[in-house]
């Protein structure tokens, strides 16, 4: 009589962020021509409304706000910077104004920008527009990183720590930009003063002659 095999001990899966239960309304507004929708919706468990252009995104935001239920507003707005129609700072100002009119605090919506051609200039635009920056391509191995950018209030210590680090980095970048702008302003003011002094001296010399 054959001896029954002993069942193998199940191996626990590696630590990961489980998919959340998808809601009936869209939690993510995605502005992109690419296939990010499948990744966000299927891999991360967020219901997505996707549009192709900046003006369509603004219209989608207005449509949701017009329903008057702020609890069902987008939790995340993701912008693909590879689309030439998107000017991130202008879009950021539009979002800020619409949220303010609706009484929704900016902290209630996570703004994320993705790009396959990251640059210092592009990242500075994102900082000014209050967008977090995620480089592309976003592949399976990068999903954990992407989740950490998106997750802001699920109680995970790991995610909270990542969000805090990102916030501190953003504040440091903003401070550096402000200091650079201040230095440039002082330099410009000094140049204008020197030019004015030279002009006054030239006028005095002409009067003496």
**One domain, residues 149 and 48:** yes
**One domain, residues 52 and 147:** yes
Non-local (6+) Cβ contacts of 135 within 8 A are: 114, 115, 116, 118
Is residue 2 a part of any domain in this protein? no
**One domain, residues 43 and 128:** yes
Vertex 45 angle, CA 125 and 50, to 5°: 50
Is residue 18 a part of any domain in this protein? no
Mean pLDDT of the chain: 76
Across 111-132, average pLDDT: 88
Residue 69 belongs to a domain with what CATH number? Answer: 3.40.50.2300
**One domain, residues 57 and 109:** yes
pTM as predicted: 0.59
pLDDT at 29: 92
pLDDT at 11: 40
pLDDT at 166: 61
Asked whether residue 141 carries a pLDDT value surpassing 60, the answer given is: no
Is residue 12 a part of any domain in this protein? no
Higher pLDDT, 194 or 166: 194
Nearest-angstrom CA–CA distance, 122 and 117: 9
Domain end marker among 134, 154, 174: 154
**Both structure tokens of 144:** 């954990």
**One domain, residues 116 and 141:** yes
**One domain, residues 69 and 110:** yes
Per the structure, the complete domain to which residue 192 belongs is given by 157-209
**One domain, residues 173 and 130:** no
**One domain, residues 133 and 58:** yes
For residues 112 and 149, is the Cβ–Cβ distance under 8 A? yes
Across 57-68, average pLDDT: 92
**Which band of pLDDT confidence, cut at 50, 70 and 90, is reported for residue 161?**
low
Least confident of 92-106, 137-151, 177-191: 137-151
Is residue 23 a part of any domain in this protein? no
Q: What are phi and psi of 104, to 5 degrees?
A: -100, 125
**One domain, residues 131 and 100:** yes
Across 73-77, average pLDDT: 90
**One domain, residues 92 and 168:** no
Asked whether residue 97 carries a pLDDT value surpassing 60, the answer given is: yes
Is residue 208 a part of any domain in this protein? yes
**One domain, residues 141 and 208:** no
Is residue 14 a part of any domain in this protein? no
For residues 107 and 130, is the Cβ–Cβ distance under 8 A? no
Q: Torsion over CA of 17, 50, 70 and 133, rounded to 10 degrees?
A: 60
Higher pLDDT, 204 or 69: 69
**Which band of pLDDT confidence, cut at 50, 70 and 90, is reported for residue 17?**
very low
Q: Is the dihedral of CA 170, 83, 59, 138 positive or negative?
A: negative
Structural domain count, the chain: 2
Higher pLDDT, 53 or 207: 53
Nearest-angstrom CA–CA distance, 170 and 128: 10
Is residue 16 a part of any domain in this protein? no
Domain end marker among 154, 171, 190: 154
Higher pLDDT, 116 or 146: 116
**One domain, residues 60 and 36:** yes
Asked whether residue 7 carries a pLDDT value surpassing 60, the answer given is: no
């Amino acid at each position: 009589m054959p001896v029954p095999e002993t069942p193998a001990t199940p191996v626990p899966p590696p630590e990961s962020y489980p998919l959340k239960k998808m809601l009936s309304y869209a939690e993510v507004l995605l502005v992109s021509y690419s296939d990010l929708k499948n990744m966000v919706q299927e891999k991360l468990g967020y219901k997505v409304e996707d549009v192709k252009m900046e003006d369509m995104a603004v219209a989608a935001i207005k449509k949701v706000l017009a329903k008057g239920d702020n609890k069902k507003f987008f939790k995340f707005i993701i912008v693909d910077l590879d689309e030439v129609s998107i000017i991130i700072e202008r879009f950021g100002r539009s979002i800020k104004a619409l949220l303010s009119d609706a009484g929704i605090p900016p902290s209630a919506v996570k703004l994320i920008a993705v790009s396959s051609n990251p640059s210092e200039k592009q990242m500075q635009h994102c900082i000014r527009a209050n967008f977090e920056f995620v480089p592309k391509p976003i592949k399976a191995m990068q999903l954990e990183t992407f989740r950490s950018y998106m997750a802001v209030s699920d109680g995970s210590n790991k995610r909270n720590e990542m969000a805090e680090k990102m916030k501190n980095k953003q504040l440091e970048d903003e401070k550096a930009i402000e200091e650079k702008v201040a230095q440039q302003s002082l330099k410009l003011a000094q140049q204008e003063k020197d030019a004015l002094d030279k002009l006054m001296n030239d006028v005095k010399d002409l009067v003496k002659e």
